[in-house]
Every structure is written in C-alpha cells, then in structure tokens.
Amino acid sequence: MSSSRRQFIKKSTLAAFSGIIGAPIVFGKWLPKDYIPLILDQNDFHNKFSKDPAMVVLNDKPWNAEAQAHILDDKVTPASRMFVRNNGLIPQDIQTDQWTLTIDGESALTTKTYTLADLKSFPKHTYQLTLECGGNGRNEFDPPAKGNQWSIGAVSCASWGGVRLSDLLKDVGVKEDAIYVGYYGKDMHLSGSPDKNPISRGVPISKAMMEETLIAYEMNGEDIPLVHGFPLRLVAGGWPASASGKWLHRLSIRNKVHDGAKMEGSSYRVPCEPVAPGEKVLDENMCIIESMPVKSLITYPKSGAMLGTKKSLAIRGHAWAGELNVSVVHYSIDFGVTWQKCELQAAANRLAWQHWSGNVSFPKDGYYEIWARATDSEGNMQPMLVPGWNPKGYLNNACHRIAIKVG
C-alpha cells in the first residue's frame, strides 16, 4: 500500500514535470487567455447555457448534449431544450458591431463583406426548420460507430429568422460553374491551432438557393444563443445539422464540392452502396449525406408511465422527413403486428416537423411498448430495426418506442 503510494507520488511528480515542460510548449501560445481548461462539472452546462436539467451531456469539451424525448414536446423547440453539437471551442468576446460576413470564392462574381446591420437591411424571413444531427441514434449501431453516442435527442425544430442565402448570393453574383457553398465559423479547433477549422461544411448551390435556406440572426424571436451560433448561423433545414454552420463569418461559393474540415473521409458520409456491418469502406466509396430520412418521436407521455386502472392513453409527438413531407404516422402496441393511424398536422412551412397525435386503447392489463412509425411522401417508412450499418453511424431512423404498464 505505502510503496504503491510512493510510486504514485513519483509518477505524479513526473507527470507534473512533463506537464510543466511539455504542455505549455505545445499549447500555451494558442490557448485563449481566459479559457479555463478544467474538467467542468456537468451542471455547468445547464447553468452556463440556460439548459433544461433533463438535457444529457455527452461531452464537456467540446460541448455535446442531447434532449430526451419527453422534453421535446414543445411544437417549437425552445433554446433550453435544443441539442448542442460543437466540434470546437465556442468563440470568446464576440463584438456584434464588428462582426462581418464575407462572401467570396472561385464562383463568386464579386467579393462582398456585410455587417450585421447590412444583413438586417435585406428582407427578413422566418421559418420553423428541423435540424437533426447526422449521428442522432448512433448509439444503436453494431458494431459500434465512433463519435458522440447520440441516442434520440439530437433533433430540434426552432423558428429561425434572417436573410435568405439566395438573396445574398444574388447580391454577390454567382458564376455558372458554382457547385457548392462552404461555410467558415469562428469556433476554435480543439488543438488551439488558429490555422485549423474544427468544421467547415456547407450545401450544394441548389440547396443554398432554396427559399428556406437562411443566414439567420434570430432564433425563436431572439438573438441566437451563443452555444447555437451567435450572432450568425447558416441554417439548412432537413439536412444534417452539421451543414448549418455556427458563428458564421465567411461563405465561399465554390466551383467544386467544398473541401473544408469534415467534408471528406467518412465524416458526414455513408457508403454509396450498402455494406455488411463492420465492413471497411474506402473513402472514395463514401457519399455525402444530404436530406435526412423520415423519422418521428413520441414526446408524450414520457416512457415508463403506469396507467393504473385506465385503459386508454393520449399520445403525441413530431415527425419529419428531411426535404420531404410526412404523409402518415402510425403507432403499434403489439410490436408491429397491427398499426393504427394517427392524426397528423400539416407542417408550419416546408422543412418544419409535423405534429401527430393518437389515442391508444389497451385490450388488457400488462406491459406494452408503443412504437411510432412515420411514412414520407415518397412512401419510405421508418424501419423497426436499426437500418443499414455505416462506418460512422449516421442516419439511424429506427422507430422510437416507449414503455407503458397498464393495471
């Protein structure tokens, strides 16, 4: 005991020394002055970013946190219940009066720089837009896929306000050979290197030109919260949320598919052709994810409800389908043997999630699971099993289910 303790102290002294000698040389000059590299307590997340206590923190550096199904019950997701997927460190000391957005690139006719005031002089548009992390549901893949182990809560549908990207692109002028619009944000790479972007993705020019694709300066009628991209965010609803760049300060109109950080390799890509679970896939056989697949959530009641003597239950939730509409939502209480149709509302606008509701009757006492299944406007349904395996565990749109006890 005492010898292992002595050894421990010696090791720690060594570590402390290597810390003193090694770490400052590698990182010192790049660490932002007031960035405290402490392992922060989980509660810090909820206080710091005014988040619902039921938000689950997956990583505290960089911040990654997801909602649980029952706190996503709001029709329009409040900031407090919106998932966070950060790839780097949040920018510090943002000065809104000095913030600019520059639009440049090989396929831009001119280069223009806009202040926030300039942007606000363009017509303002507001849409409810579904943003889901490409890796939502990753934790169900077998063999496991690496990255943050999202379960079901990396999805939101807030109301975003701002200028249409297409209005800005027209203002700058787009050459005919334009293929892609890539974004650059002010977040800092985890290594502290100022020359590296944590993430720099974007959308094809066709998606950039859609009327719902915004350069947003508002979320739910207020300034965008810092952790969600204040003061400016590209918002491309229905696509993996990584296409919606936060802390936006530059857009490049590219004459090729944008080649920024996390555009290449296996990031936000799936095998172009289906593969067996665990199969190695070459980079050139990986295709960029565009529209997200059809999916739904049961947001009421919370899983685990015991109904006592009641034999019926009102349920509700949301359903969304990337670029498409949801045409119908069903639920099953017998593991898919029979399906009942739900009430389904039209979307507030294209790319917003749709609200559904149902009334469940239970034939007898016992344990039940309620499964919800949405079908999109092209007839694609959510699978009951985890869909096609892919190396990074994207696009798991398997049916959501909750547990209920009757009697």
Binding site for other proteins (CB under 8 A): 8-9, 11-13, 15-19, 23, 26-27, 37, 39, 58-62, 140-144, 146-149, 189-191, 193, 196, 261, 265, 301-308, 310, 369, 384-386, 398, 401-403, 405
Structure tokens at 221: 């009628």
Residue placing its CB nearer to other proteins in the complex, 99 or 150: 150
How many CB atoms are closer than 10 A to CB 260? 18
Residue placing its CB nearer to ligand HEC in the complex, 187 or 218: 187
62 binds ligand HEC (CB under 6 A): yes
How many CB atoms are closer than 10 A to CB 166? 17
Q: Which of other proteins, ligand HEC, none does residue 303 bind (CB under 5 to 8 Å by kind)? A: other proteins
Q: Closest Cα partner for 200 from 252, 164, 145?
A: 252
Helix (H, G, I), strand (E, B) or coil at 65: strand
C-alpha distance from residue 64 to each of 40, 131, 147, 255 (Å): 13, 15, 11, 33
Helix (H, G, I), strand (E, B) or coil at 47: helix
Q: Which of other proteins, ligand HEC, none does residue 337 bind (CB under 5 to 8 Å by kind)? A: none
Query: With contact defined as beta carbons under 8 Å apart, do 342 and 318 qualify?
Result: no
Q: Which of other proteins, ligand HEC, none does residue 398 bind (CB under 5 to 8 Å by kind)? A: other proteins
Query: With contact defined as beta carbons under 8 Å apart, do 76 and 220 qualify?
Result: yes
Q: Of these, 147, 153, 162, 240, which contacts ligand HEC (CB under 6 A)? A: 147
Shortest reach from residue 109's CB to other proteins, in Å: 33
Which residue's Cβ lies closest to ligand HEC? 147
Place of tokens 């694609």: 380
Structure tokens at 404: 């209920």
Residue placing its CB nearer to other proteins in the complex, 88 or 204: 88
What is the β-pairing status of strands 248-254 and 100-104? parallel
Q: Closest Cα partner for 390 from 290, 270, 289?
A: 270
Shortest reach from residue 189's CB to ligand HEC, in Å: 6
Surface-to-core class of residue 46, CB atoms within 10 Å of its CB (0-12 exposed, 13-18 middle, 19+ buried): middle
Residue placing its CB nearer to ligand HEC in the complex, 39 or 337: 39
Residue placing its CB nearer to ligand HEC in the complex, 147 or 322: 147
Helix (H, G, I), strand (E, B) or coil at 296: strand
Cα gap 338→291, rounded to integer Å: 29
18 binds ligand HEC (CB under 6 A): no
Q: Which of other proteins, ligand HEC, none does residue 204 bind (CB under 5 to 8 Å by kind)? A: none
Shortest reach from residue 183's CB to other proteins, in Å: 18
Query: With contact defined as beta carbons under 8 Å apart, do 233 and 258 qualify?
Result: no
Which DSSP string do the residues of 257-268 spell out, in sequence order?
Answer: S---TTSSTTTT
Cross-strand partners of 156: 131
Residue placing its CB nearer to ligand HEC in the complex, 138 or 373: 138
Shortest reach from residue 13's CB to other proteins, in Å: 5
Where does 164-204 have alpha helices with state H? 165-172
Q: Which of other proteins, ligand HEC, none does residue 17 bind (CB under 5 to 8 Å by kind)? A: other proteins
Shortest reach from residue 390's CB to ligand HEC, in Å: 13
Q: Which of other proteins, ligand HEC, none does residue 385 bind (CB under 5 to 8 Å by kind)? A: other proteins
261 binds ligand HEC (CB under 6 A): no
Cα gap 117→99, rounded to integer Å: 10
Shortest reach from residue 24's CB to ligand HEC, in Å: 15
C-alpha distance from residue 130 to each of 94, 323, 354 (Å): 27, 10, 10
Q: Of these, 77, 87, 197, 396, which contacts ligand HEC (CB under 6 A)? A: 87
Residues 183-202, mask of contacts with ligand HEC (x by CB under 6 A): -------xx-----------
Shortest reach from residue 283's CB to ligand HEC, in Å: 14
State the amino acid at position 79 in one-letter form. Answer: A
Number of residues counted as binding ligand HEC (CB under 6 A): 6
Residue placing its CB nearer to other proteins in the complex, 123 or 337: 337
Residue placing its CB nearer to ligand HEC in the complex, 87 or 128: 87
Q: Which residues bind ligand HEC (CB under 6 A)?
A: 62, 87, 146-147, 190-191
